[in-house]
């Protein structure tokens, strides 16, 4: 099935990448814009914001609340006709973990709570992989819960991350801490 079959002929590469990034978030909760724009270089964020606005205007995405987006039926149909893009999935995971780290440091609890269902869903989806990205997601989830004042809920994530880090060896250890204990 071609892009044109779903009206995708006018999509720019930035728009396609943003749609594919939105598709990586398996939670049905609205996606905070910050999560879609985080993988972009700072100088490309303005272009990314314009692309998001166009995707909303053209019906590929909807904006359920200010600062959030969700895929529409048109967007889901277009993405169903395409193969999953592993590099975009990895980029989303990396950006999500870095964003959670920054939000935790800034103590932006409100945004962390918006991010939580997406991080939890991605962390669960990536568990079977047992790779360094799984480790980063698990650490980020523990960090998020700790920052939101839920240390008991964070404990299983920290324990799972510790076991996974040991299994993967030092090469998989994160380059910086994802939480402060």
pLDDT over 90 for what percent of the chain?
67
Q: Which of 21, 29, 6 is nearest to 80 (CA)?
A: 6
Identify the three-state secondary structure at position 107: coil
CB atoms within 10 A of CB 142: 26
DSSP tag of 179: S
Range 113-117 average pLDDT: 93
Round the average pLDDT of the chain to a whole number and report it: 87
Q: What is the pLDDT of residue 11?
A: 92
Q: Look-up: residue for tokens 């996974």?
A: 164
- Cα angle for residues 43, 74, 49 (degrees, 5° grid): 15
Per-residue pLDDT, 13: 92
DSSP 7: T
pLDDT average, residue stretch 97-122: 94
Mean pLDDT of 120-138: 93
Domain boundaries, the chain: 3-80, 86-172
Please indicate whether residue 130 or residue 8 has the higher confidence score (pLDDT): 130
Give the pLDDT score at 35.
92
CA angle (64, 80, 83) in 5-degree steps: 120
Whether 167 has a pLDDT exceeding 70, the answer reads yes
| Confidence at 173, pLDDT banded by 50, 70, 90 | low
Name the strand (E) or helix (H) holding 54.
helix 45-57
- Sequence-distant (6+) residues with CB within 8 A of 112 are 100, 103, 104, 144, 147, 148
Q: Is the pLDDT of residue 176 over 80?
A: no
Q: What is the tens place of the pLDDT at every residue in 9-64?
A: 689 999 999 999 999 887 678 999 999 998 888 889 999 999 999 999 999 999 99
Q: Is the pLDDT of residue 159 over 50?
A: yes
Q: What is the pLDDT of residues 132-144, one digit of tens each?
A: 999 999 999 999 9
Q: What is d(CA 40, CA 156) in angstroms, rounded to the nearest whole number?
A: 32
CATH 1.10.10.10 for the 3-80 domain, yes or no: yes
pLDDT digits (tens, 9 = 90+) for 54-90: 999 999 999 999 999 999 999 989 888 877 677 888 9
CB 63 within 8 Å of CB 54:
no
């Amino acid at each position: 099935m071609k892009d044109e079959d779903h009206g995708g002929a006018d999509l720019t590469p930035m728009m396609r990448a943003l749609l594919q990034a939105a598709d990586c978030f398996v939670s049905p909760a609205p996606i905070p814009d910050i999560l879609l724009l985080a993988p972009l270089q700072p100088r490309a964020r303005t272009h990314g914001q314009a692309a998001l606005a166009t995707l909303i205007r053209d019906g590929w995405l909807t904006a359920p609340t200010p600062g959030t987006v969700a895929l529409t039926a048109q967007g889901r149909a277009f993405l169903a006709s395409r193969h999953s893009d592993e590099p975009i999935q990895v980029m989303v995971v990396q950006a999500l973990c870095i964003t959670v780290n920054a939000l935790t440091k800034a103590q932006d609890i409100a945004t962390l709570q918006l991010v939580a269902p997406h991080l939890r869903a991605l962390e669960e989806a990536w568990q079977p992989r047992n790779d360094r990205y799984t480790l980063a997601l698990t650490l980020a989830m523990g960090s998020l819960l700790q920052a939101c004042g839920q240390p008991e809920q964070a404990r299983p994530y920290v324990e799972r991350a510790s076991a996974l880090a040991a299994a993967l060896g030092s090469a998989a250890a994160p380059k910086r801490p994802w939480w402060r204990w």
